[in-house]
Amino acid sequence: MSPTTWRRLLRRILSMLGTLLGVAVLVFIMLRAIPGSQITAGLGTEAAALTPEQRAALAEYYGIDKPLVVQFFSWLGNVLTGNLGFSSSSQVSVGKLTLSALPVTFELAVLSIVLALLIGIPLGMLSASKPDSPRDAVGQVVGLAGLSVPSFLLATVLTSFLSAKLGFNPNGEAYATLVEDPVRNLRQMVLPSLVLGFGIAAPIMRTTRTALLEVRSQDFVRTARAKGVPARRLQIRHILGNALVPIVTMTGLQFGYLLGGAVVVEQIFSLPGIGRQVLLGIQAKEYAVVQSTVLIIALSFVLVNLATDLLYRIIDPRVRAE
């Protein structure tokens, strides 16, 4: 690689490390700002009956008796050595919890993105084919509905309707991994993927429409049309091919969001994913669980952005030339 490429790579790595450090500090401060502690979360009202000696012993056991700066660097030092902490409620390490939860969220994110692309891109192409026409209006309405309807509302309505009318409620059963029972796993992933995919399809559809309209107005498209290039080839190869960069950008952002932002859907459908792990950790005031899991989510988001940048170089020769 050239010196310029090395410098760019070094800047990117330093930026990633700065982002992760900022996330770690922010999450650490926010967790300590929440009233209560792991002691009160574990004992509830019985915590009021603890003697000062008992409270001090429990604080030492949970590691919250030290100054905040010491707590932060102690946790960060453990993370850098591969020790993500221990969950008192689950009696397993955070690393094991994450290894079992991350594949669930990753599968959900992939299925949701696939559904979103299958809905958003064709709908965006349909809307862009005739701007300000009835078909464009239909696409805009669908996009507006996807942006407006909350995921928890759509999930609740779908679950209630399908279970009451059709008896379809696979998420009422114990969760099965893709390896254990592929059929049941996919049945359990259908509804949550559809809920998330519908919401993500809206920004992808709007991005596709805007990008296609912008590319269609450029000179090379008019030249290709004047040369008699077939309409389908013109639409797919010349217009859509040159509009992929903003679409890939939006898809990468949404995929990164799904890796940590699917907590509501995971909770409604009882999926043991990474978002639900954070939620349960917050409820139990398990600082190590929340801090380490959020850091992993942030790392995943950063890596997705890096992969998106690499895709730019594959799909757009102009980026490679730069």
pLDDT in tens, 254-272: 888 887 767 888 888 888 8
Q: Phi first, then psi: what are they for 86, rounded to 5°?
A: -135, 140
Q: Is residue 95 part of a domain?
A: no
Q: Domain check: are 134 and 204 in the same one? A: yes
Instruction: Spell out where 41-95 has E strands.
Output: 86-87, 92-93
Q: Which of 116, 125, 120, 131 is nearest to 236 (CA)?
A: 125
Determine the pLDDT at residue 320: 53
Q: Domain check: are 236 and 118 in the same one? A: yes
Determine the pLDDT at residue 318: 59
CB atoms near residue 57 (< 10 Å): 13
Q: Is residue 16 part of a domain?
A: no
pLDDT at 107 over 70: yes
Determine the pLDDT at residue 139: 81
Percent of the chain with pLDDT over 70: 92
Q: Domain check: are 186 and 270 in the same one? A: yes
Q: Domain check: are 30 and 164 in the same one? A: no
Q: Is residue 8 part of a domain?
A: no
Q: Domain check: are 115 and 57 in the same one? A: no
Determine the pLDDT at residue 307: 81
Q: Which of 298, 200, 293, 304 is nearest to 254 (CA)?
A: 200
Q: Report the alpha-carbon distance of residue 110 to residue 189 in Å, rounded.
A: 11
DSSP lists the bridge partners of residue 86 as 93
Percent of the chain with pLDDT over 90: 6
Q: Where does a domain end: 56, 83, 110?
A: 83
Q: Report the alpha-carbon distance of residue 229 to residue 128 in Å, rounded.
A: 19
Q: How confident is the model at residue 110 (pLDDT cuts 50, 70, 90)?
A: very high
Q: Domain check: are 104 and 79 in the same one? A: no
Residue-wise DSSP of 202-218: HHHHHHHHHHHHHHHTS
89 with 41: CB under 8 angstroms?
Answer: no
Q: Domain check: are 156 and 259 in the same one? A: yes
Geometric angle at alpha carbon 74, from 71 and 78, rounded to 5°: 140
- Tell me what the mean pLDDT of segment 307-322 comes to: 67
What is the number of structural domains in the chain?
Answer: 2
pLDDT at 296 over 80: yes
Q: Is residue 2 part of a domain?
A: no
Determine the pLDDT at residue 147: 79
Burial class (CB in 10 A: 0-12, 13-18, 19+), 6: exposed
CB atoms near residue 129 (< 10 Å): 18
Determine the pLDDT at residue 319: 56
Q: Is residue 94 part of a domain?
A: no
Determine the pLDDT at residue 316: 63
Q: How many C-alpha atoms does 130 have within 13 Å on its Cβ side?
A: 6
Q: Where does a domain end: 49, 83, 117?
A: 83
DSSP lists the bridge partners of residue 87 as 92
pLDDT at 45 over 70: no
Determine the pLDDT at residue 113: 93
Q: How confident is the model at residue 47 (pLDDT cuts 50, 70, 90)?
A: low
Determine the pLDDT at residue 5: 66
pLDDT at 111 over 70: yes
pLDDT at 49 over 70: no
pLDDT at 42 over 80: no
pLDDT at 159 over 70: yes
Q: Report the alpha-carbon distance of residue 11 to residue 6 in Å, rounded.
A: 9
Determine the pLDDT at residue 261: 65
Q: How confident is the model at residue 322 (pLDDT cuts 50, 70, 90)?
A: low
Q: Which of 280, 263, 261, 266 is nearest to 87 (CA)?
A: 280
Q: What is the mean pLDDT of the chain?
A: 82
* Angstrom distances, CA of residue 147 to CA of 19, 34, 49, 173: 28, 30, 49, 30
Q: Domain check: are 254 and 312 in the same one? A: yes
Q: Report the alpha-carbon distance of residue 271 to residue 103 in Å, rounded.
A: 11
Q: Domain check: are 45 and 137 in the same one? A: no
- Tell me what the mean pLDDT of segment 304-317 comes to: 74
**Residue 220 belongs to what domain range?**
100-321
Helix axes 182-216, 151-161, angle to 10 degrees: 130
CB atoms near residue 30 (< 10 Å): 13
Q: How confident is the model at residue 116 (pLDDT cuts 50, 70, 90)?
A: very high
Q: Is residue 89 part of a domain?
A: no
Q: Which of 71, 95, 90, 89 is nearest to 296 (CA)?
A: 95
Give me the sign of the Cα torsion angle 59, 63, 66, 69. negative
Q: How confident is the model at residue 313 (pLDDT cuts 50, 70, 90)?
A: confident
Q: How confident is the model at residue 84 (pLDDT cuts 50, 70, 90)?
A: confident
For the record, the structure tokens of 144 come out as 């507006």
279 with 273: CB under 8 angstroms?
Answer: no
Q: Domain check: are 173 and 308 in the same one? A: yes
Q: Is residue 142 part of a domain?
A: yes
Q: Domain check: are 147 and 264 in the same one? A: yes
Q: Domain check: are 75 and 140 in the same one? A: no
Q: Is residue 42 part of a domain?
A: yes
The residue with greater pLDDT, 257 or 96, is 96
For the record, the structure tokens of 123 come out as 């709908």
CATH number at residue 312: 1.10.3720.10
User: If you average pLDDT over each of 10-19, 21-30, 163-172, 310-319, which comes out highest?
Assistant: 21-30
